[in-house]
Structure 1
Amino acid sequence: MLHELVGAGEEEDLDAGVKRIAVLEKDLGVQLFSRTARGARLTIDGQAFLPYARALLQAEERAAASVRPGRRALRVDVIGRRLSLAGLLRDFHRAYPETDLDVVTLFDSDTAIAAVRSGTIDATFRAVTMPGRQLPGGIEATPVFDEPLHLFTGPAHEFAAARAIAPAQLAGRRIWMPGNMPGTEWAAYYDELAAAFGLTIDSVGPNFGIEPLLDTIANSSTLATFVSEQTPLVWPAGHDLRRIPLHDPTPVYPHSLIWRTDNPHPALIALRDHLTSAYPGRPHSGIWTPNWSATG
């Protein structure tokens, strides 16, 4: 009914919507138009009501556009807003500032891929594919970023003074990662890393988040954890924490962009092109990735 009111107020003629406007007038208990043989004009009440009606219609259009594929913002899933993938999206937005971008965080790969299939999101960043799982039909993935791992220790740890270490030097050591949840792609990654180099991934929690983990690592001479090279971390100066690169080989976490092949969103192609053009390709030697990691 508001559509008819706005149109009639602008065009000053009666049309098929006049009956619906009459229903609106009855509901409001006021006359919005004065009707004559020549047409209709807004009454004082109609003039007062019209700006609010316009605002409601504009809000309706914005609400519809926010969820309508092809018109809403490009909706991309990242595992965490503080991780490197969010940085990739910030770089994309700087390159394409006119593109509306909606960043969401879904926890696990199954949920994210289901959201891609349904069109709820346009793309997700994940490590693909986990052991025993394949991407559904109509879903594609391409590698976009291989992120090196660092060992993260406190100042009293045995490797705290090392400039770099080899993964084989961690054999028999315990790596504490309370955020590793069974069934997730990152848990599968670290399980295979542990098996490949003889180390132990300790996921005993509870997981209180990154700040308590940093506090614990800083005060321990035996605990260490893994962090990705571009994960931004800030800690109190007194913690004196150390990030130690891993080499010979360098374990890299394989991030891929996943999307539905028939997704019509016009900005999705720009995102794919931006990410793949910046991806140098995976080296043939010197790195370690799981056997199940897609190479494109």
Structure 2
Amino acid sequence: MDTEGVRSFVRAAELGQLQHAADELGVTQQAVSKRIAALERELGVRLFTRTARGVELTLDGQAFLAHARAIVAGADRAVAAIRPGSRALRIDVLGLRSAQAVVLHDFWRAHPETALDVVTLRVDDPRAAVAAVQAGDVDASFRSVTDPAVLPRDVRMVHAFDSPLELLVGPRHPLASARTLTPVQLRGHRIWVPGIAPRSEWADFYDQLVTHFDLRVDAAGPHFGDEVLLDVLADSADVATLVGSRDRYLWPTNHDLRRIPIQDPTLAYPLSLVLPRANPHPGLRAVIDHLRSLAPLPVDTWRPSWATTPA
């Protein structure tokens, strides 16, 4: 099996577009398309369906993705074994538009000499990300294990940064004209956060948030993607959602969505970095130093009980 074909498949799956995968791999889109087509012929299945927005995994593609990542990681480890210290720093983020990716991009702009590989493991259970760190598939992961006592001895978790939340609403929502909001003002309003995965760190976060502030968080229905969520908000007079202040969301201008900061107290989603205790990648030190340099949130900030202390 051609490992470059497998690598092209993995990057296309993670980025959602063949051109973006080609740009990262330093080849043409046609080369990526040919590699994936050859891989599909070898496997005897279709891995992607083509859409107007790019490519989406088929059920066979979803089943193959985790194994494909393992193949690529194994090939990378084989190369690293004969070229010590040559591999790029590989860090897992929840999504390429997430606050973690934004902060890493800021770090890379300040340190363009750093060889950095930003990946998305696409797993909900943080223990799966911990296992990837243990196996050396990634050097670090922006995940939080809400019970640090269950962390393996060879892995540690440090505070990365806190992400303040904003309310995202459409123009007809009753809170749309507010410049800032308090948590008390959110009571009684429907906050829609579809697809909250059981056993995920964000499930624990929303459980504590709802209990502490008596809010109404609705997790009903599958998450069909940010574009669908934004379409619903734009058309609704009573649905809102919560987003991180650094998270990137793009929508058509006619949606007229509004991002409203929440204060008194600020609601913060704590982000942690999971990394190995022994022999971490040498590039991690600079990343942790960058995280420490981020501006702190106000003293009047609410965090869940499992928030870790600064590194």
In the alignment, which residue of structure 2 is the partner of 1:249? 265
Answer yes or no: is 1:289 the counterpart of 2:296.
no
> How far off is 1:256 after superposition?
1.6
- Give the structure 1 partner of residue 134 of structure 2: 117
The equivalent residue for 2:203 is: 187
Distance 2:163 2:78 in 1: 37
2:110 is matched with which residue?
95
RMSD: 2.3
Which letter does structure 1 place at the counterpart of 2:105?
Answer: R
Distance 1:134 1:242, change over 3 A: same
| Shift in Å, 1:68 | 7.1
- Deviations 1:198-218 (CA, angstroms, capped at 9, x unpaired): 112111112110011111011
**Do the aligned residues in 1 keep the contact of 2:139 with 2:280 (CA within 8 Å)?**
no
Partner of 1:145: 161
**Cα separation, 2, equivalents of 1:69 and 1:264:** 13
Q: CA deviation at 1:261?
A: 1.4
- Does 1 or 2 have the higher relative contact order (CA < 8 Å, sep 6+)? 1
Contact 2:154 2:278 in 1 (8 A): yes
Amino acid at match of 1:111: A
Separation in 2, partners of 1:182, 1:138 = 26
> What does 1:125-274 correspond to in 2, within 5 Å?
125-126=142-143, 128-131=144-147, 134-274=150-290
Deviations 1:102-130 (A, max 9, x none): 1111223111111112222111112x342
Q: Retained in 2: the 8 A contact 1:83–1:232?
A: yes
TM-score, L = length of structure 1 = 0.73
Specify the SS of the correspondent of 2:283.
helix
Unaligned runs of 5+ in 1: 1-59
Distance 1:273 1:69, change over 3 A: farther
Counting aligned pairs with the same residue, the percent is: 49
Rg larger in structure: 1
Letter in 2 for 1:253: Y
Q: Which amino acid in the other structure matches residue 290 of structure 2?
A: H
Conserved? CA contact 1:175–1:223, under 8 Å: yes
